[in-house]
């Protein structure tokens, strides 16, 4: 597979079912009790800063950004980030994170936080 075949696109509602399947595959049903998921439940993610990687019209990876607040503080929370197993370790997740961080910067987000597994995101 050539990485030139992968397209990086803004997320749309049409991607929701495939993204849910990727997240289920990557994190399993236990993900809903994790701290990051509890924080995300407070509001939906921001599609203007959430992206998918697509190959042959199929979503193979996704990253989402969610607005969060703590007192007067405001930020974006990165995640979940998930890549289908057949496409891991090719730089696709890293590219999605770069795109999402740039979108947050352009939108004027004061900060981006990550609540997650350091070895996975590292």
The model's pLDDT over 85-115, given as tens digits with 9 standing for 90+, comes to 999 999 999 999 999 999 999 999 999 988 7
Q: What is the pLDDT of residues 14-64, one digit of tens each?
A: 999 999 899 888 776 655 555 565 566 666 789 999 999 999 999 999 999
- Residue 9 makes CB contacts below 8 A (sequence gap 6+) with 51, 52, 53, 54
Which regions of the chain does DSSP assign to beta strands (E)? Answer: 7-10, 51-55, 58-70, 73-83, 112-114
Domain count for the chain: 1
pLDDT tens digits, residue range 59-76? Answer: 999 999 988 888 888 899
CB atoms inside a 10 Å sphere around CB 27: 18
pLDDT for 37: 58
Domain encompassing residue 44: 3-121
What is the value of pTM for the model shown? 0.86
């Amino acid at each position: 597979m050539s990485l030139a075949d992968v397209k990086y696109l803004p997320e749309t509602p049409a991607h929701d079912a495939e993204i849910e399947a990727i997240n289920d595959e990557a994190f399993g049903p236990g993900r809903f009790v994790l701290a990051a998921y509890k924080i995300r439940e407070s509001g939906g993610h921001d599609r203007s800063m959430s992206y998918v990687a697509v190959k042959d019209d199929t979503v193979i990876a996704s990253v989402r950004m969610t607005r969060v607040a703590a007192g007067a503080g405001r930020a974006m929370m990165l995640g979940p980030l998930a890549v289908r197993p057949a496409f891991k370790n090719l730089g696709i997740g890293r590219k999605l994170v770069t795109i999402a961080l740039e979108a947050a910067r352009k939108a004027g987000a004061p900060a981006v936080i990550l609540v997650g597994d350091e070895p996975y995101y590292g």
